[in-house]
Amino acid sequence: MKRVRVLVADDSAVFRQLLASALAQDPEVEVVGLASNGVQALELAARLRPDVVTLDLEMPVLDGLGTLQALVRHHPVPVVVLSAHSPQGADLAVRALQLGAVEVEAKPQEPWTGVALAALVQKVKAAARARARSRSRTGPVRMVAVAASTGGPNALASLFARLPNLRTPVVVVQHMPAGFTTSLARRLDEVGAMRVEEAQDGTEPAPGVVYVAPGGRQLEVWDGRWMVREPEPQDVLKPCADVTFSAVARWFSPALAVVLTGMGRDGLEGCRRIKRAGGAVIAQNEETSVVYGMPRAVVEAGVADFVLPLDRIPEEVVRVVEGTP
């Protein structure tokens, strides 16, 4: 018999272990992961693909509702939400059901008894048979937008070496000075199946082609074509992922954003706009990032739909672009 694979997310180490132990005592259940906050829960859910997630609403770093939203959007896994005995807890529980939780249970109060935990185990097993609700994108992905900074060139080479020839255009924003991105485009063109070139002003993005944003400039879109412009005096990042991603959201939605290793928070606002326009966001996980700054920003803001190691990102890009389940 296939056992129900459960991920437990709770900020209380004591309750987390008690619930995990109660679940593990059932021969039909396997506890595959434990998370102490929402960011960990998203990373483990992406890597482990559990059958059910138990989710405490009151967690640090990224709270339960933010975690639930990210899980529901592109990780259609049944979620059992645990809510505190309080008016505020009741309000959060109703909101969780509206967002897509399949079950809301009152969190057992201390002292935690075997009877209460056993009842919760049965709820988790029942949730595994439920159909999770997923908020699908508004249509086929029209462009893939990739952002990277520190450690980016090697990460990009790894990504494109594993990607097939996609049926959408791809744009890459790598923080680099003027004159360096031509060499980057040439290097990426040599490693994989897709054609890679530096973006030129006035060019219409073509399926199967990767466009690298020119260093020292800003890359936008106007009337469906690339617009390469001089940066504003106050611009620190040239090119800037937020600038390009926002233009992609405006002209090529729904899009898929991929945020790789890098320092700072560039890409967060652009990812928010891509999400609002019906797109999706993949973030590289901490373990495989040289600097976990840009990916961390989108994960902690609850914007990332997938948090994956670098070697898992290409297959997820293909899955999202092709629209396969």
Whether omega before 254 lies within 30 degrees of 0, making that bond cis, reads: yes
User: In 37-53, which positions are buried (b, 16+ CB within 10 angstroms) versus exposed (e)?
Assistant: bbbbbbbbbbbeebbbb
C-beta of residue 287 within 8 angstroms of C-beta of residue 312: no
Which helix (H) or strand (E) segment is 300 a member of?
helix 294-300
> What letter does residue 262 receive in the DSSP assignment?
B
Which helix (H) or strand (E) segment is 281 a member of?
strand 280-284
Give the total residue count for the chain: 325
C-beta of residue 192 within 8 angstroms of C-beta of residue 163: yes
> What letter does residue 195 receive in the DSSP assignment?
E
Q: How far apart are CA 215 and CA 63, in angstroms?
A: 37
Which positions are annotated as active-site residues?
Answer: 149, 175, 266
Dihedral Cα 134, 138, 144, 148, nearest 10 deg: -60
